[in-house]
């Protein structure tokens, strides 16, 4: 993994750094060994398999979803669906909001409108997931590119540092530049590590979104007659 490699670099001298840098930092950038074939491993850094889109069948055991657009015309459903998918809203508030909405529906329209509500929730959830997952992939791609730059920098600054180490009586300026380069390089490694530590945290967000969608689906189904 990139993090393991970089963490080793932090404590090495420049000769050691350069030697380590010859190893490809991106040889195993992804943890998603069971990712779908069409998903390149270097684009998805999360442990769990990338599922590009949730389908109704994954979280819904109600009526088949055949209409995915009519909810746009219903102001109440548009507002409620946006409210319930928000991760800032607590689960009990979601249940209360859905119960209140269902209670105000005519009996002969209740199941149809609740099914429409689920359709809206599914569409909004997939939009949310797409944004989050795209952000994760873009961030990971930047980290992969940065790891290549770090590898290149190690090879570039190694000769000066090695020359200063082998000839202590050499030009003071050479030794100073080598020392500055090493300190700058170590700082860059620490910065890289700090950013890399954010990826596992970000990877939890799509899972939380999926769990939330499942909870909403169950809450909607609980208010349906069939």
For residue range 172-214, list pLDDT tens digits in order.
555 556 577 778 888 888 899 899 999 999 999 999 999 999 9
**Alpha carbon distance 136, 139 (integer Å):** 5
pLDDT value, residue 182: 78
Question: Residue 30 — left, alpha, or beta (φ > 0 → left; ψ -120 to 50 → alpha)?
Answer: beta
**Alpha carbon distance 90, 33 (integer Å):** 34
Q: Look up the pTM and report it.
A: 0.71
pLDDT value, residue 152: 85
For residue range 14-57, list pLDDT tens digits in order.
444 433 333 333 333 332 333 233 334 467 899 888 999 999 99
167 versus 117: the higher-pLDDT residue is 117
Average pLDDT of the chain is: 79
- Judged by DSSP in three states, 212 sits in helix
Concatenated DSSP letters of 36-104: -TTS-GGG---SSPP-S---HHHH--SS----SSGGGG-HHHHHHHHHHH-TTS-HHHHHHHHHHHHHT
């Amino acid at each position: 993994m990139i993090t393991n490699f970089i963490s080793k670099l932090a404590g090495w001298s420049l000769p050691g750094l350069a030697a380590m840098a010859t190893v490809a930092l991106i040889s195993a950038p992804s943890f998603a060994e069971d990712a779908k074939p069409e998903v390149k491993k270097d684009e998805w850094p999360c442990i769990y398999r990338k599922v590009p889109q949730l389908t109704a069948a994954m979280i819904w055991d109600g009526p088949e979803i055949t209409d995915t657009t009519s909810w746009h015309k219903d102001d109440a459903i548009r507002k409620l669906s946006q409210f319930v998918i928000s991760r800032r809203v607590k689960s009990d508030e979601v249940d209360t909001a859905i119960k209140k909405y269902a209670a105000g529906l005519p009996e002969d329209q209740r199941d149809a409108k609740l099914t429409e509500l689920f359709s809206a929730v599914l569409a909004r959830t997939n939009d949310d997931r797409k944004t989050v997952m795209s952000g994760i992939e873009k961030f990971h791609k930047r980290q992969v590119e940065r790891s290549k730059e770090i590898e290149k920098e190690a090879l570039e600054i190694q000769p000066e540092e090695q020359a200063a180490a082998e000839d202590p009586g050499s030009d003071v300026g050479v030794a100073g530049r080598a020392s500055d380069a090493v300190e700058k390089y170590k700082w860059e490694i620490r910065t890289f590590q700090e950013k890399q530590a954010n990826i596992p945290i970000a990877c939890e967000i799509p899972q939380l979104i999926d769990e939330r969608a499942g909870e909403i689906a169950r809450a909607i189904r609980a208010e349906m007659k069939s």
